[in-house]
Structure 1
Amino acid sequence: MNNCFKCRGLIITLLISILFRDSLASVVSTGDFNKDFFVMWAPNYVNTSSNGGERSLKLDQQSGSGFASNQMFLFGRIDMQIKLVPGNSAGTVLAYYVSETLDSFDFLHFSASDINRIALQSQLASDQPNRDEIDFEFLGNVSGEPYIVQTNIYVDGFDNREERIYLWFDPTEDYHTYSILWNLHQIVFMVDSIPIRVYRNHADKGVAYPRWQPMGIKISLWNGDSWATRGGLDKIDWSKGPFIASFKDYTIDACVWEGNPRFCRADSTDNWWNKPRMSSLSREQKRWFKWVRKYHMVYDYCQDHQRLLLEELNNVHCHKRCMIGSSGGSVGSSSAPAIGADTIRLDEFVDLATLIDWMDAEDVLD
């Protein structure tokens, strides 16, 4: 199993180094967690290195923990290197997301039980009914099982846009980079520069898109065992704790909110993320995106027809995006897999030649 992880990880890394070129741009982050973030929950459970370059969060039976950015942003890109909770982490949830910001005062005056309740209900996000939010959620697993990454998007207070994938490596052995690109054109979730989800701006077709409200960065580790692992069947084994997640080498390249949305929405040199070239995935990115969705996707809300029908019958917010196409935006509905279909587990291996042949096929996403 370990050799499988390492071999596949090496192949992916080599291919990424060839296919991707990162653009140089100014950043608004210092690389020091003490300067760019504040502790919003359980300071005694947040450990930061002496130079501010590394930070960890702890969860035990008494409390979880979390921190948030000092500034708010409207569009940009965020990268964070994260090493997930190792071992039997069933029931734990690590949330890494952008949302409207709560002041630290609000959290530091809650008890641990209150905070756990709030975290479970709202992922430590604003209680405002029209909030926007862009979520990575890492759902703990039983030892030996693959980690599931859930992504979700709130727009004007509505969510229920979940997608889930299996990671193709062991995210507890080393740090990996998890990124959110948010611009006027699309939201892209990436893992080690590989796009795993795209949510395109179809506001002109009546589909809600987060484009007006500034958001802050938040990271929290908490007890989600009522739902996180196998729908809540696997509970947290507190004897395996404390549970630790680690962070380092983050980059925030985004428009700092100063009260004027027109500045952040401008197609300027500083706002490189709003340039036309950032309006869709590159050809190479589309190939990787297709690979993820074909072999690693386990849930797509647009393919959950029973749920969509029930929501429509109950007059719940209707997902117009699913009628336009898949939540991948640039892909048609026919390319979105059925729930759980064609999923490669971590103990299955695609050799390099097969992977390259598949990625060079002519049916690349439009």
Structure 2
Amino acid sequence: MGSRSWQITTMMVIFFEIFFLLTDGARDASFGVNYNVTWGRDRILFFKRGLEVQLSLDHLSGSGFASKAYFGSGLFQMKIKLPDKDSSGVVTAFYVLTITLNAFVNYFLQKGYPKRPMQVVVSLWDGSAWATDGGQTKANWSNEPFKARFQDFNIDGCPSTPTASNMDCYSSRYWWNHKNYLQLDQRQLKAYEDARKAYMNYDYCTDRARDASFDENYNVTWGRDRILFFKRGHEVQLSLDHLSGSGFASKAYFGSGLFQMKIKLPDKDSAGVVTAFYVLTKTLNNNKLKHDVPIRVLKKNRLKGIGYPKRAMQVVVSLWDGSDWATDGGQSKANWSNEPFQAHFQDFNIDGCPSIPTVPNKDCYSSRYWWNRKNYRQLNQRQLKAYEDARKVYMNYDYCTDRGRYPIPHPECTE
């Protein structure tokens, strides 16, 4: 994975497309003009009055930096010299980060992106668990420290802010938004393909086996002091005691998609304790607890007012006290002598169509997404059996049958 030569890595981010190319750089800016150190400060060295930066990685920590400003569009480039030792499992990353999407932009083309302000991020870190041969080839720490060097810190971009997109960034006043830059020409396309063949050892777009880490798709929403992270964010523990529970939710909203998670329920007598995994909209809160099988099926029936989902959905997970109603209609309370109750969660992948709460993305209902195709409109026999078995074994409460709390059932409960 190493290379002793400098490579000029460029990201041109425009309103219509994102692409990666190799090009000649203009006069170099020094590091401090556009960038700040974000982590691993003691593993970063500066040379040539800030015109060259070295990131280091050892078995304890890596290092990284990011742009001071956010941008709506622009040209982001950097000369990168990869570690010159055997660096299997070591990730040298140069990408843009938005509030809702963390994307290695130099790996793919995507129409319509970006919609939110972006920050340029650079880092050197340990990806032994997945980066080389699907995690089979680990970082060889006898070669530590691994060192990568960076030059050319120019940014030619349209400034924006994380909270409010600058729509002017998509106008033709910026040269990268002109018609002749809406797609790669033949020379650029060949350089793009050659670069991928020569330097690209991993593409997250084709990695179907890797579980996403928690912070790629989720944020803590409450009870932060009752949440623990394990396996570098690939496992999360929520805790509940008599004072408070805890929970988290997806960073983004979705119009449709596949939302799944591995859940290990509390191993003590947990009567009255609710472990919830569901999707939430502005007007509808439907529990869809999944244990690697479907547990609730909502059939669309607009005549009965069941047009679900009509609005953008957020994935929500929580552990909380439902003593008043959850078990035996509230007869069995939580036994606080067993506190804290702890539930574990893994597999934070989300395969969904992004949307926003105020304006639903109608494209989310199209057949371009596999879950909207005809063969997924109902459960097959195997899924139906798993669904029925799971409800019998794991389901202690169903809001559709709770007439005490809901004298008038929700529309979907009449199906």
Which TM-score applies when normalising by structure 1? 0.49
Larger radius of gyration: 2
Larger strand fraction of residues: 2
TM-score, normalization by structure 2: 0.44
